[in-house]
Structure 1
Amino acid sequence: MKDPHRLLGATLVSCALAATGAGAVPAYAMENELWISAPYETVLPGADANGDARARTLAVQVSRDVADGSLPAGQLTVDVSQIASFARVSWPANCAPESEVEAVCAVPEMPAGTDSVPAATFELRALPGADVSASGYVRYSATAGEATSHPGETRVGVGNGPDLGLSQADHQRDLRPGSRTSVRATLSNSGNRTAERTLLWLNASYGLRFTERHANCEYREHETGTSALCVLDEAVAPGQQYTLTTGLGVGRKAMYERFDHSVHPYSDEALAEMRGEWTWSRGTGPELDPLPVATAGATVTDPDIDPQDNYGTVILDALNTADLKLTGSRVSGGAGETVTARVTVHNRGPAWVASLGVGASVATVRFRAPEGTTAVNLPEERCWSLPEEPEGAADTTHFCRTPIHLHDKASYTFEIPLRIDRVVRGARTTVETLNDDPELSIRKFDPNLRNNKAEIVVNR
């Protein structure tokens, strides 16, 4: 399915620190992997109409995977030589400039039990007249005791245009089915051009509903919820902020829910791309933004210069349960034949179950082939076996997983081909769900685990 919004993820540049040394090894030199984390890239807005350029902040951290022992205080070296021709740096108090293009920043020690520390947070601004085609890298390296890092980097560019962003709204827990709530976020423009109109994309998962169907929005129902496309006619100038509030009903089937929203400068092309080939229905309620409609054709032509903050996700969990139930099957056949057993996961509700954040399966079932049979040709996209070798061994355990969502009163069936190597009358095996998956624990939402087992019976 085509993604309805373009999003550049805020990824981290990470560099391993290798501990070295001879003789007695101090605590900080133990074989722990250490990392430098910094934004993958940033775009500096050029000067606005008043000749001022807005700052961008780069925050750099040092972290480690294992927090055993301690890491002494160290230093971070920041090299800005590649961007010096088009950007100006403002160093924080813990950074001492070594030259016009390099600074050394004091990094605090990392005591035992601490897995990360802030290394430096500094500002960049585009110089007057900076070329929008200019780009370069800020490079980092670090030392701590005898440990050193490989260089990390952040790509920096310059752009003219609006830079719309959404603040991160708070996650919501323990909502009651049948209640109402709302998600409030701040729409801002940190670029150097005005966005004359804004294209807002919203998505409420299946257990939620929009309490209003606004006249300046169009809506589409899909398997996992409802999406909306809204055109906001309020011009957003550089530095301006507006509050966006979306009312949501928490349905009787709600449990693990998710709300997504993103903003983009409006253009006819962007709207057409987000509509895709789907069918949308316009709302009839009050407009989401009741301000007067802008003059026809008054659309911004500049793209958003840095889309990394255009998108937000809010998790909304409701107090609800879903009773999963397994059913098995009976099959018969002669030696040498392959028969198909079926195992079905039923969701008896009342809630639907979805892992829309992590993407974990609703249920993973575990089984061994009944005596005298071998499980063959299990679908690789859904199933796996342990141990992998030798294939068909009596101690091989098979696992199969459902999709990441299962509606209330819906079911999902696994087809399990069994080759009958020898006929064993009444051979049977137990199929059961794994109830303690840390990504999506069935035990936390299923009130009746007794019916989470079933049998496959062969030649009874």
Structure 2
Amino acid sequence: MLTHSTRRWLAGLGVAGAFVAASASPAAAAEEAPIELGVYFSDTTLAAGSEGKIDSPILYASEPVVIEGLKIRYDYRDLDGTLEVKPDTGASECESPEPGVLVCTDPFEVGLDEWGIGGYYSVAMTPTAKAADGDAGSLTVTVSAEGIAPATHTAKVRIGEGVDLAAPGEETMVSAAPGGTFSAPLTLSNVGETDAKGAVAVFDLDYAIRTDKQYSNCTYEEGHLRTCSFSEETVAGEARSASLSYVLGKDTYAPGSEYGYYNWMTIAEFEDFSAYLKELGVSAGKPGDGPVLTLPAVPSKASARSFQADTDPMNNWSGMTVKVTGKNGVDLVAVADKVAGKAGDVVTATAGVRNDGPAALDFGRLGSPVTKIDVAVPEGTTAVKVPEVCAPLNGDQADWDQAGKPGKKLYRCYPDIFIGVDEEQTVEFGLRIDKVIANATGTVTINAKCECEGFSDDLNPANDIAKLLVNAAGGQGGGDDDGGALPITGQSTGLIAGIGALLLAAGVGGYLVAKRRRTRFVA
């Protein structure tokens, strides 16, 4: 069983894809159009006198491509004398041709796709002994490869005074039924020796966890809490705490468990993170319409225009586990099309799954799809167009090395990690009619029992198989069309993929602390 921490880390693995969806230029229709290469590197605030931070650029391409001669150049001459940039442990083929410049090359082929790739040439950024609070400059990252035009991104690097914000190490344990309310503390401790001038809490809450009220210094996205900003100065050794009221959505699956986390940032670090979100086109939400949420000082056992940076973000996380009581299940329904045509025609057939509720399914923290969709191609037809999220099925094993390969008779497709009530997630197969057969029949079968924590049997297994019909007798075909269908890469994921996942991909938590503990995003 995965730990809560592992679930949170897994939630960050798909973020590079979100970045490309928001930022990469679409592939040109003409085959001769040049491939576009892109790169992004996060703005960073470092604490003077600290060991700094490890980070790496995110690379992406306008279309899938294998490139050779990949070269990444870090130009920090604007910060020469205040910042050192060196290869992270294990990096190779890097050299410094002049002060303030680091160049890394890859002698092997590198595969890039439309989902982007991260983790190449991680570098350690360390303030020098001369660096002081208020120093600032730019770090320019340039990526080039054989036959592809270079791409450049300039990041802002600032030096600030070090503070050590912390959250309680233990998680809060509460329980509630779907539609019920509960409360959980939001606590900030300053365990360093420098007063913290304000702080921002960034929340990573499961889809089921909503807020009972809104505050003007917090932000919300479609009713989900994203951030809360506080101006209170937290002196060294002091703690502050407030109680937040939440409500479980009526569409929460029960019985089960839901999870929520928050992470503290300094004001400067949140400015860096906000720039990252803007680059992605991801909203941190809009301010609430209620009063200001205050963070009063409380007795603490904590020990002991400038910028501030946290010297140990590893202790900034805290969270809660919500035990969901009662019974609130799910009826997943197989969706299959009826199409018609003559011999030689290529017809488009839809297959997928629909959630008839009453609960939503959210497997975002598990990183697993909500179900499996097996598609048997109807007799007398050949699958000539197959979605990339589908692979030939042999027994109970899908061959993902042949994902999207046409010509097979049986495929397994995976839908999203979340499916809301009344949501339909479908794929489209291009079927060539080789021989006209009345009522040529294939099937769409969903495996509506997931071996996942928090989900048991489907409420109605009888509708987990549907017929995929070609040239059905007495009808012209064209399955249900209620306008509610979403592609399998459904847009609902963007809402529930908590901002906490983006924290990890952005490198927050990737600081080098005294014992060289590390956290790194790996694509």
The structure-2 alpha-carbon separation of the partners of 1:300 and 1:433, relative to structure 1 and needing over 3 Å to count, comes to farther
Cα deviations by residue, 1:173-213 (Å, 9 ceiling, x for unpaired): 76311211123354223333221211122344433221231
**8 A contact 2:351–2:375 mirrored in 1:** no
Q: Which residue of 2 aligns with 1:453?
A: 465
Cα deviations by residue, 1:69-96 (Å, 9 ceiling, x for unpaired): xxxxxxxxxxxxxxxxxxxxxxxxxxxx
Q: Which residue of 1 aligns with 2:332?
A: 324
Q: Which residue of 1 aligns with 2:210?
A: 209
Q: CA deviation at 1:46?
A: 6.9
Q: Which residue of 1 aligns with 2:200?
A: 199
One-letter amino acid of the structure 2 residue matched with residue 243 of structure 1: S
Q: Which residue of 1 aligns with 2:72?
A: none
Summarize the alignment of residues 60-459 of structure 1 with structure 2, pairs less than 5 Å apart: 161-170=162-171, 172=173, 175-184=176-185, 186-221=187-222, 226-255=224-253, 257-267=258-268, 269-270=271-272, 273=275, 276=278, 278=283, 280-285=286-291, 287-289=293-295, 301-316=307-322, 318-319=324-325, 320-380=328-388, 382-387=389-394, 388=399, 396-439=409-452, 444=456, 446-459=458-471
Give the whole-Å Cα distance in 1 for the aligned partners of 2:436 and 2:169.
Answer: 61
Secondary structure of the corresponding residue to residue 252 of structure 2 = coil
Q: CA deviation at 1:234?
A: 2.9
Q: CA deviation at 1:311?
A: 3.4
Cα deviations by residue, 1:9-37 (Å, 9 ceiling, x for unpaired): 79xxxxxxxxxxxxxxxxxxxxxxxxxxx
The structure-2 alpha-carbon separation of the partners of 1:272 and 1:366, relative to structure 1 and needing over 3 Å to count, comes to closer
Q: CA deviation at 1:366?
A: 0.7
Secondary structure of the corresponding residue to residue 386 of structure 1 = strand
The structure-2 alpha-carbon separation of the partners of 1:44 and 1:239, relative to structure 1 and needing over 3 Å to count, comes to farther
Give the whole-Å Cα distance in 1 for the aligned partners of 2:245 and 2:130.
Answer: 40
Give the whole-Å Cα distance in 2 for the aligned partners of 1:430 and 1:440.
Answer: 28
Q: CA deviation at 1:249?
A: 0.9
One-letter amino acid of the structure 2 residue matched with residue 386 of structure 1: L
Give the whole-Å Cα distance in 2 for the aligned partners of 1:237 and 1:45.
Answer: 19
**8 A contact 2:387–2:427 mirrored in 1:** no
**8 A contact 2:383–2:407 mirrored in 1:** no
Give the whole-Å Cα distance in 1 for the aligned partners of 2:375 and 2:286.
Answer: 44
One-letter amino acid of the structure 1 residue matched with residue 286 of structure 2: W
Give the whole-Å Cα distance in 2 for the aligned partners of 1:272 and 1:46.
Answer: 25
**8 A contact 1:360–1:440 mirrored in 2:** no
One-letter amino acid of the structure 2 residue matched with residue 403 of structure 1: D
One-letter amino acid of the structure 2 residue matched with residue 309 of structure 1: N
Give the whole-Å Cα distance in 1 for the aligned partners of 2:286 and 2:348.
Answer: 42
Question: Which structure has the bigger radius of gyration?
Answer: 1
Give the whole-Å Cα distance in 1 for the aligned partners of 2:357 and 2:330.
Answer: 4
Q: TM-score under structure 1 normalisation? A: 0.56
Give the whole-Å Cα distance in 1 for the aligned partners of 2:436 and 2:218.
Answer: 63
Q: Which residue of 2 aligns with 1:4?
A: none
One-letter amino acid of the structure 2 residue matched with residue 374 of structure 1: T
Give the whole-Å Cα distance in 2 for the aligned partners of 1:288 and 1:372.
Answer: 68
Q: CA deviation at 1:342?
A: 1.3
Q: CA deviation at 1:166?
A: 2.0
Stretch moving more, 198-207 or 337-346: 198-207
Q: CA deviation at 1:417?
A: 1.6
- Structure 1 unmatched runs, 5+: 1-7, 11-42, 48-129, 134-158, 292-298
Give the whole-Å Cα distance in 2 for the aligned partners of 1:188 and 1:250.
Answer: 28
Of structures 1 and 2, the one scoring higher in RCO (CA 8 A, sep 6+) is 2
**8 A contact 1:369–1:429 mirrored in 2:** yes
Secondary structure of the corresponding residue to residue 438 of structure 2 = coil
The structure-2 alpha-carbon separation of the partners of 1:46 and 1:327, relative to structure 1 and needing over 3 Å to count, comes to closer
Cα deviations by residue, 1:359-399 (Å, 9 ceiling, x for unpaired): 2222221122111222232221x2112345896666x4311
Structure richer in helix, relative to its length: 2
Summarize the alignment of residues 18-97 of structure 1 with structure 2, pairs less than 5 Å apart: none
The structure-2 alpha-carbon separation of the partners of 1:264 and 1:393, relative to structure 1 and needing over 3 Å to count, comes to closer
Cα deviations by residue, 1:95-148 (Å, 9 ceiling, x for unpaired): xxxxxxxxxxxxxxxxxxxxxxxxxxxxxxxxxxx9598xxxxxxxxxxxxxxx
Q: TM-score under structure 2 normalisation? A: 0.50
